[in-house]
Amino acid sequence: SQTIHQWPATLVQPVGSPLSLECTVEGTSNPNLYWYRQAAGRGLQLLFYSVGIGQISSEVPQNLSASRPQDRQFILSSKKLLLSDSGFYLCAWAKYRNYGYTFGSGTRLTVV
């Protein structure tokens, strides 16, 4: 069966520090991968999505970037965090087009 792993679960980082969040999917190949951010009490904002290795599409211009170095690995990064980067970061995958998303357990990031 397919599983999605996301870590760390919680993170407290100072303003200006770098960020690296990792997401991996097991039990499938060539998944579509997504990064979403959810601010406290808010909806889900699409940040990046990828349909294959090295293929990244950005939805919101900001100081975040994403990479997909391997088929089932998706990484969210930042060189310098801002206070506004705080939130609940969720990785998701879908096997095919028009398939339901499966979300990871999320990373709760607090920038202080």
Partner 1 sequence: QQPVQSPQAVILREGEDAVINCSSSKALYSVHWYRQKHGEAPVFLMILLKGGEQKGHEKISASFNEKKQQSSLYLTASQLSYSGTYFCGTGDRDDKIIFGKGTRLHILP
User: Is position 59 an interface residue for partner 1 (rule: CB under 8 A)?
Assistant: yes
User: Is position 77 an interface residue for partner 1 (rule: CB under 8 A)?
Assistant: no
Query: Residue from 3, 12, 63, 99 that binds partner 1 (CB under 8 A)?
Result: 99
Report how far Cα 84 is from the mean position of its chain's Cα atoms.
Answer: 16
Per the listing, tokens 């690995």 go with: 73
User: Is position 61 an interface residue for partner 1 (rule: CB under 8 A)?
Assistant: no
Determine the Cα–Cα distance for residues 87 and 98; give it in Å rounded to an integer.
27
User: Is position 14 an interface residue for partner 1 (rule: CB under 8 A)?
Assistant: no
Determine the Cα–Cα distance for residues 32 and 98; give it in Å rounded to an integer.
11
Q: Least distance (Å) from partner 1 to the CB of residue 49?
A: 6
Determine the Cα–Cα distance for residues 24 and 3; give it in Å rounded to an integer.
8
Residues that bind partner 1 in the complex, under the rule CB under 8 A = 32, 34, 36, 42-46, 49, 57, 59, 90, 94, 97-106
